[in-house]
Amino acid sequence: MEIYDGEFIAELEAIAKRVRSHSITMIYRAGSGHPGGSLSGVDIMVALYFHVMKHDSKRPDWPERDRFVLSKGHAAPALYAVLAEAKYFPEKELETLRKLGSRLQGHPCMRKTPGVEMSTGSLGHGLAAGNGMALAAKLDRKLYRIYVLCGDGEMDVGETWEAAMLASHYKLDNITAYIDRNKLQLDGPTEKIMSLEPLADKWKAFGWHVIEINGHSMKEIIQATNEAKGVKGRPTAIICHTIKGKGVSYMEGSLHFHGKAPTDEEYKQAMKELGGTDR
Amino acid sequence: MTWKWESQRKQYGRALVELGKERSDIVVLDADLSSSTRTADFASAFPERFFNCGIAEQNMIDTAAGLAASGKTVFVSTFAVFGTGRCYDQIRQSVAYPKLNIKIVASHAGITVGGDGASHQIIEDIALMRVLPNMAVIVPVDSNETYNVVKAIAKTKDPVYVRIGRADVPTVTDKDTPFEMSKANVMRDGTDVTLIGCGILVSKCLEAAEELAKHGIDARVINLHTIKPLDEKTVVKAARETGGVVTAEEHSVMMGMGSAVAMCLVENFHVPMKRVGIPDVFGESGACNELMEKYGLTIENIVEAAHDVMKRKK
Ligand SMILES: Cc1ncc(C[n+]2csc(CCOP(=O)(O)OP(=O)(O)O)c2C)c(N)n1
């Protein structure tokens, strides 16, 4: 299969590395933001935007496009970097993150940023909004699909489970939820703050088809997504085992970098590791 | 004027720990933001009386209700946007209506949240909490007052909403400045116009008063820390004695402190008035000072409003 072809995967991985580098640079320049959760979700977003999804950056409102909802809106830097890589707006604009007057708000705003499908930031809304899009697709007999990226901390939110129920009730086989299972939320490890396990069983009990993968493997992300496309009559949840801060050694598994910008020194180190230019 | 800038959250954390030592009925709940709201200080001192509810604010409020109904004095904290709007029905049904002993102390209110943007910058929390029967609403002016407010409300049995910010704020009181709920604090006497501020805008009112003094205008400045129940006596007295009122707040002008003052004056003593506050729009990402400027919360805005009021005075 060409999609598992080494060169092809390497290409996606190269994009992911650039997205990581951009994300950290943006947060560094802004002086605030969420590096940890941005980095853990990068590979999923890159696989979706650069392989899985039908979309066209020249026509962000193309009715047939697949939709991506970043439910964990604080990972906005990664989404913006992906959108810039996909040419929704110039890469230069990434510098404006969180600045007054910027189209790149601290959390995604669908009225400001081309390519952003839903305004998010308050956790726990994205899956339900994705369901709405999935219902609309069914009503309009459209074939586009909905992809939602949730944080594992978002599994604390009651609405996540209300949405889980609704999706299976309405047999929404056109929506796929990716759960960024980095095992950390803001105050600490998920299992210490609010235990989630057995998480896969919970989703199964809510009527979802469940797949567990390494969320940093392009191959596994793509395979699981293809499997989800084949599932009829129910939605699919892909539990993506990830590492918060993935790609920057001192951010990996770190609570500190949930919501802190790197210092000058830390930034230099990150750029070394990500092969970005030290700007 | 040069101010000392200090954290309100730090004083909240400190007051909570002291309360925890003094009283065994104090319990604290947070929703995965304890390191930001500083309830983490209480959590490490009294782990058995701290409950992190995860990112589940609605669940947290009803859990607080159960604890309060069982005799506990419950402090609940998260960001103001999640601690009011997100769980409004829970607050309405299970806190305000049954009049339970729950203190919602919410941080990161207003546009001074900065970079996070409109999703996190609640500018309507005072409005939401103010309309609820039984709910008191307090906006501590600085770090000292935050400490005093927390100690004071712990003595009451009723629901209270306390709004504090993310950023450090100018210290305008000293440690001995008394705090009495519903007793507005006249910070500066004056006879020509009254500037009523709450929260971070009080320091700007004081600076505006200095500015106005240069133009021969003698402004009174009031720190209206308790927005509900409103100290109508002090407000009406100021209107009567100065003949004009300007309010200033880091909140939507739609239904915040300024509206509360306006409603009071319309019914009791009608004088020319102007509200300085955030217009009827959402905020956006930016630096605090830039946002304060863009959304009309500067000293100049207050001075201008005072001049306007002066012109309209008979
Ligand atoms: C409703 C709500 N409550 C609280 C927050 C504050 N907050 C931002 S990120 C975060 C932790 C998120 O954890 P998780 O979903 O696991 O994200 P990740 O670890 O992938 O960054 C919290 C509590 C929020 N954005 N929304």
Question: What are the structural domain ranges in chain B?
Answer: 5-170, 185-312
| DSSP codes of every residue in A206-261 | TT-EEEEEETT-HHHHHHHHHHHHH--SS-EEEEEE--TTTTSGGGTT-SGGGS--
Q: What is the ipTM of this complex?
A: 0.95
- pLDDT tens figures, A196-216: 999 999 999 999 999 999 999
- Cα B257 to Cα B139: distance, rounded to the nearest angstrom: 10
Sheet with strand B73-79: strands edge to edge: B50-52, B26-30, B73-79, B102-107, B160-163, B136-138, B226-228
Kindly report the number of other CB atoms within 10 A of residue B247's CB atom. Answer: 30
Question: With 70 as the cut, is the pLDDT of residue B229 above it?
Answer: yes
pLDDT of residue A279: 47
How many angstroms separate the alpha carbon of residue A145 from the centre of ligand 1? 25
Q: Are A109 and A73 in contact (CB under 8 A)?
A: no
The answer to whether residue B36 neighbours chain A at the CB level (below 8 Å) is yes
Q: Average of pLDDT values for A56-85?
A: 98
Is A123 a pocket residue for ligand 1 (Cβ < 6 Å)? yes
Strand ordering across the sheet containing A209-214? A67-70, A146-151, A175-181, A236-241, A209-214
B35-73 pLDDT, tens digit per residue, is 999 999 999 999 999 999 999 999 999 999 999 999 999
8 A C-beta contact, residue A30 and residue A97: yes
Distance CA A220, CA B165 (A): 44
Q: Can you list the domains of chain A with their CATH numbers?
A: 6-274 (3.40.50.970)
Nearest by CB: A106 against B58, B82, B115: B115
For residue B194, the model assigns a pLDDT of 98
- Three-class DSSP category at B91: helix
pLDDT in tens, A150-168: 999 999 999 999 999 999 9
Q: Using one digit for the tens of pLDDT, what is the confidence trace for B86-96?
A: 999 999 999 99
Rounded distance, CA A78 to CA B259, Å? 41
Please say if the pLDDT value at position A3 is more than 60: no
Q: What is the mean pLDDT of residues B110-137?
A: 98
* The two structure tokens encoding residue B110: 């207003």
> Residue B310: how many CA atoms within 13 Å on its side-chain side?
16
The answer to whether residue B300 is catalytic is: no
Specify burial of residue B307 (Cβ count, 10 A radius: 0-12, 13-18, 19+): middle
Question: Parallel, antiparallel, or unpaired: how do β-strands B169-170 and B5-6 relate?
Answer: antiparallel
Say what the pLDDT of residue B267 is.
Answer: 97
Q: Interior CA angle at A118 toward A234 and A214, to 5°?
A: 55
- Choose the mutation target among B81, B116, B122, B290 for the interface with A, i.e. most A CBs under 10 Å: B116
Q: Tokens at residue A73, please?
A: 């809106």
pLDDT computed for residue A1 by the predictor: 46
Of B30, B33, B115, the CB nearest to A30: B115
Best of A27, A178, A180, A185 for a ligand 1 pocket test (most atoms within 8 Å of beta carbon)? A185
Task: Judge residue A207's burial from the number of C-beta atoms within 10 Å of its C-beta, 0-12 exposed, 13-18 middle, 19 or more buried.
Answer: middle
Q: What top-level class would CATH report for the domain B185-312?
A: alpha beta
Residue with the larger pLDDT of the pair A8 and A2: A8
Q: Is the separation of the CB atoms in A147 and A44 below 8 Å?
A: no
Q: Does ligand 1 lie within 6 Å of residue A243's CB atom?
A: no
What span, in angstroms and rounded, lies between the C-alpha atoms of A85 and A49?
9
The C-alpha atoms of residue A15 and residue B199 are separated, in whole angstroms, by 46
Q: Find the mean pLDDT for residues A9-30.
A: 97
- Residues of B with Cβ-Cβ distance to A97 under 8 angstroms: 285
Q: Is B113 helix (H, G, I), strand (E, B) or coil?
A: helix
Read off the pLDDT of each residue in A227-249 and give the average, rounded to a whole number: 98
Q: What is the mean pLDDT of residues B93-116?
A: 98
The token duo for A184 is 């950390």
Element (H, E) at B45: helix B39-45
Alpha carbon distance A95, B123 (integer Å): 27
The span from the CA of A140 to the CA of A113, in Å, is: 25
pLDDT at B201 over 50: yes
Q: Which CATH number fits domain B5-170: 3.40.50.970, 3.90.180.10, 3.40.47.10, 3.30.2320.30?
A: 3.40.50.970
Cβ of A158 within 8 Å of Cβ of B54? The answer is no
pLDDT recorded at residue A20: 98
Closest CB to A119: pick one of B54, B59, B119.
Answer: B119
Q: Chain-wide mean pLDDT for chain A? A: 96
Are the C-beta atoms of residues B23 and B16 closer than 8 Å to each other? no
> Does residue A180 line the site of ligand 1, with CB under 6 A?
yes
Q: What does each C-alpha distance from A79 to A38, A74, A97, A115, A247 come to in angstroms?
A: 8, 10, 12, 9, 16
Mean of all residue pLDDT scores within chain B: 98
Q: Looking at the predicted structure, is the pLDDT value of residue A278 above 50?
A: no
Q: Judge whether B5-170 and B185-312 match in fold.
A: yes
How high is the pLDDT of residue B1? 84
Question: Do the strands B185-188 and B219-223 form a parallel or antiparallel pair, or are they unpaired?
Answer: antiparallel
What pLDDT was estimated at residue A276? Answer: 73
Residue B143, token pair as written in the block: 């770090």
Residue A99 has pLDDT above 60, yes or no: yes
